């Protein structure tokens, strides 16, 4: 009887200790948030500011996830002209500040598992880049995805789906090149992640978008990033982004006012560059 009481008491103590230990461990939160901050400012003989912000919020359930992404890039530079006008002998300094880069984007995506590896997704996004000739681009899409590789170090996922896109170029028509376009596109995405350690990783995100109405107007994007953890909540991230548009937007340029153009002088159409590249270094804060 005494031995039985000892065994029962010991078992109860073990269960109680385990319960206390579990109670001390906080439950894993279902959400995460990564904020990126990049900022460069110069002053004095050369003035300029470069600001890059990005945020990725993720809420996960047992078989689904919701992500919200936001990004902004803004750059300004000041050019200085030094002249010696009459009556001469006194320099005149004229500073002109202009925006040299500006782009903004938002995206919300919901993914839900069908099997352990197969899932479906749907999402909406908005993008603006005046310097690439895009006033607004709205996208609603969906499709399926598959996890090809998922190990302790490697993660490889792919997605295939369709987008309904509305794009507004800069300026108002005519000409017809400045008309708002609505089209259906085929989207293919590939995402790879390699973990060097628990806090450091290399990622590569590729996507290809085929305009099914105008097949020559396809786009491709690549984002290569290296993240090095500094602590549990801080990391340093270097990334290189390449955005390619095979049929970029155009801009209508009015005739120069000086000298006065003749009546009916035609507009000039400027085609934007096909490739944009961004190299950035940012501090990442994990919440």
Q: Is 257 left (phi over 0), alpha (psi -120 to 50) or beta?
A: alpha
Specify the pLDDT at position 248.
93
Specify the pLDDT at position 25.
52
Specify the pLDDT at position 26.
60
Specify the pLDDT at position 230.
92
Domain ranges of the chain: 31-286
Specify the pLDDT at position 80.
87
User: Which secondary structure element, helix H or strand E, spans residue 71, and what is its range?
Assistant: strand 64-83
Assign domain 31-286 to a CATH class: mainly beta
Say what the pTM is.
Answer: 0.83
- 171-180 contacts: CB < 8 A, separation 24 or more? 171/251, 171/252, 175/252, 175/267, 175/269, 177/249, 177/250, 177/252, 177/269, 178/250, 178/252
Which residue ranges in the chain fall short of pLDDT 70?
Answer: 1-27
Specify the pLDDT at position 15.
38
CA–CA separation, 223 vs 201, rounded Å? 14
What does DSSP say about strands 64-83 and 92-113: parallel, antiparallel, or unpaired? antiparallel
Whether the CB-CB separation of 75 and 99 falls below 8 Å is answered with yes
């Amino acid at each position: 009887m005494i031995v039985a009481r000892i065994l029962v008491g010991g078992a109860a103590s073990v269960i109680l200790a385990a319960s206390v230990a579990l109670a001390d461990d906080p439950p894993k939160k279902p959400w995460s948030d990564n904020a990126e901050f990049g900022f460069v400012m110069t002053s004095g003989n050369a003035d300029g500011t470069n600001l890059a912000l990005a945020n990725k919020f993720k809420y996960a359930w047992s078989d689904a996830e919701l992500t919200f992404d936001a990004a902004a890039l803004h750059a300004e530079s000041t050019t200085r002209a030094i002249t010696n006008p009459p009556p001469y002998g006194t320099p005149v300094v004229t500073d002109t500040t202009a925006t040299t880069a500006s782009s903004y984007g938002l995206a919300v995506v919901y993914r839900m598992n069908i099997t352990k590896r197969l899932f479906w997704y749907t999402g909406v996004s908005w993008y603006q880049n005046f310097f690439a000739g895009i006033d607004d681009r709205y996208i609603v899409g969906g499709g399926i995805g598959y996890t090809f590789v998922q190990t302790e170090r490697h993660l490889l996922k792919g997605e295939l789906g369709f987008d309904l896109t509305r794009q507004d170029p800069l300026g108002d028509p005519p000409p017809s090149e400045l008309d708002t376009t609505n089209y259906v596109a085929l989207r293919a995405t590939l995402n790879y992640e390699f973990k060097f350690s628990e806090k450091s990783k290399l990622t590569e995100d590729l996507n290809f978008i085929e305009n099914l109405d105008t097949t020559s107007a396809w786009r491709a994007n690549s984002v290569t990033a290296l993240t090095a953890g500094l602590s549990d909540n801080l990391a340093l991230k270097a990334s290189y982004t390449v955005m390619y548009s095979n049929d970029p937007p155009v801009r209508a340029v009015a005739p120069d006012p000086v000298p006065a153009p003749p009546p009916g002088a035609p507009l000039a159409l400027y085609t934007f560059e096909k490739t944009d590249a961004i190299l950035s270094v940012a501090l990442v804060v994990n919440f």
